[in-house]
Amino acid sequence: MDRKYATGLMWFRRDLRAFDNAALYHALRACRQLHCVFVLDTDILAALPRVDRRVEFILAALGELDAALRRLAPDAGLLWRLGSAREEVPALARQLHTQAVFANHDDEPFALARDARVRGALAGLGIALVTSKDQAVFERDELMTQAGQPYTVFTPYKAAWLKKADGFYLSSYPVARHAGSLAPRPDAEQRPLPGLADIGFAPSNLSALRMPLGASGGQQLFEEFFDRMDQYHLARDYPALKGPSYLSAHLRFGTVSIRQLASGAHRLALQGMAGPAAWLAELVWRDFFMQILAHFPHVADRAFRPECDAIRWERGKRARALFAAWCAGRTGYPLVDAAMAQLNQTGYMHNRLRMLTASFLAKQLGLDWRWGERYFAEKLNDFDLAANNGGWQWAASTGCDAQPYFRIFNPVAQSQRFDAEGRFIRRYLPRLARLPAPLLHAPWTARPADLTAAGIVLGRDYPLPLVDLAQARERALARYAAARRPVARGKVAARRRR
């Protein structure tokens, strides 16, 4: 094969695997020799707490990626840099005398700005930046309405996604077939990958959580989930059950291939299986929110619907106290508090509970959804800007195709429905474990004798509810209605002018 470039550089980012990787495949085919690098980007690391499970997840994935590259070509391996990617990538590309740098797309605003800087610096050196689609089945402008506009409603987007998805879009890239282009590591790069202390971080509890790590961990989780995917639609809403795939962090960092996951679910969905069809829909939601962020980047810090920026959220000392109680899982509503305990202890939260806790913050507590979004961004192992933002704006009724503002999750009813026996609550709130299940969902309704028998003093061992649900609902409806009135008045005025 006639190679376009003598030497190239593969820049790994959120695609930490050596199989079915679009940019790696294209780079191997285009270059006679290809080096591979990951930059521990200090522009990102500097903003993180010094104990962060995600950093450990990445380092474990880099170890497996390095080993995978060596298996493909014994003298190859992963180069690494610690510094600003905006400077390190052009410097390394120049040092290696490359003609092109290859990477996969990342449409988050920070990443786009970073890539623009890198592209400009490389251009000044006469080096091309070649990027590919890898983290979504469909992205950017690949699915548009008949009017040529981005989809902002999920149902027609999903229909278009399913109509277009076929073997071409769901097939994998045969990386190994072209691995002969992997270049030996230069002598100066013969050094081990860094550890946590080398980059200024301390260990978390990630090892105690026994979370499968790296590409092998992602494959292990997918194979295990594949065997129970047929029950996904029945189990996914119950946090005490093993219903989800638990692949979200692997999707975030690219230690699994979205094409492999989607093709497996798609094949079973075409056979009429409800579980795979439901899980495939969740993968489609992921693509949907990615294209929303790409087309409407203002959602990163403002409401998708402009009128929702007029919502008057609670402010001041009282609001800050409510937020602190929500973060700490001390709202007085057990399922909300158990969900926050799960997040704080593990970096994971069940999807049903993400909706519940987000709705509770925005609607029952009346707090700005962006406060909660930022907290999740700090805590979630699987934090992805598009998905996190899309989920929060959906729950807060400020986003595209969001739940109606008058739909307000009742945390007691959700608890009774999805954790009826209290198994999840007891796991994360052991101080309530001795309460009978009917009382576990609303401890303040228990008789003094029941509380005494359970060894609980409300206000000491477990907090009283922060808010009254009926009153909070009325305040939420008024808050949203007030923000909608200027829009309604504008529509009436426009009709009168016709």
Whether residue 313 lies in the annotated active site: yes
- The Cα-based distances of 32 to 65, 98, 400 in angstroms read 21, 11, 46
Find the domain containing 147 and state its range: 136-171+216-295
Whether residue 392 lies in the annotated active site: yes
The whole-chain average pLDDT of the chain stands at 96
Active-site hit among 189, 307, 313, 444: 313
Percent of the chain clearing pLDDT 70 (strictly above): 97
Contacts (Cβ under 8 Å, ≥6 apart) of 440? 334, 415, 422, 425, 426, 432
Residue 494's pLDDT is 42
Query: Residue 426 and residue 437: Cα distance in Å, rounded?
Result: 10
Active-site hit among 351, 378, 410, 444: 351
Is 316 within a domain?
yes
Task: Answer yes or no: do 379 and 340 share one domain.
Answer: yes
pLDDT surpasses 50 at 81 = yes
Domain boundary among 79, 113, 134: 134
The number of folded domains in the chain is 3
Task: Answer yes or no: do 269 and 407 share one domain.
Answer: no
Task: Answer yes or no: do 269 and 375 share one domain.
Answer: no
Residue 1's pLDDT is 62
Q: Are 257 and 172 in contact (CB under 8 A)?
A: yes
Active-site hit among 142, 224, 282, 314: 282
Whether residue 369 lies in the annotated active site: yes
pLDDT surpasses 70 at 491 = no
DSSP 8-state symbol, 426? H
Whether residue 444 lies in the annotated active site: no
Task: Answer yes or no: do 16 and 151 share one domain.
Answer: no
Is 12 within a domain?
yes
Q: Are strands 100-104 and 31-41 parallel, antiparallel or unpaired?
A: unpaired
Query: Residue 241 and residue 419: Cα distance in Å, rounded?
Result: 9
Task: Answer yes or no: do 437 and 366 share one domain.
Answer: yes
Phi, psi (rounded to 5 degrees) for 129: -110, 115
For residue 7, give the 3-state DSSP assignment. strand
Q: Where are the beta strands (DSSP E) in 195-345?
A: none
Whether residue 381 lies in the annotated active site: no
SS3 sequence, 124-147? HCCCEEEEECCCCCCCCCCCECCC
- The two counts, helices (H) then strands (E), for the chain are 23, 5
Could you tell me the pLDDT band of residue 486, with boundaries at 50, 70 and 90? low
Whether residue 224 lies in the annotated active site: no
Is 211 within a domain?
no
Beta bridge partners of 462: 458
Which CATH number goes with the domain that contains 389?
A: 1.10.579.10
Is 497 within a domain?
no
DSSP 165-211: --HHHHPPP-GGGGGGGBPPPPGGG--PPP-TGGGT----SHHHHT-
In this predicted model, what pLDDT tens digit does every residue of 130-186 receive, in sequence order? 999 999 999 999 999 999 999 999 999 999 999 999 999 999 999 999 999 999 999
Is 56 within a domain?
yes
Is 300 within a domain?
no
Task: Answer yes or no: do 70 and 145 share one domain.
Answer: no
Could you tell me the pLDDT band of residue 403, with boundaries at 50, 70 and 90? confident
Task: Answer yes or no: do 42 and 101 share one domain.
Answer: yes
In this predicted model, what pLDDT tens digit does every residue of 347-362 receive, in sequence order? 999 999 999 999 999 9
- The Cα-based distances of 326 to 343, 357, 380 in angstroms read 12, 8, 16
436 sits in which H/E element: none
Active-site hit among 80, 285, 326, 394: 285
Active-site hit among 369, 371, 373, 394: 369
Is 199 within a domain?
no
Is 423 within a domain?
yes
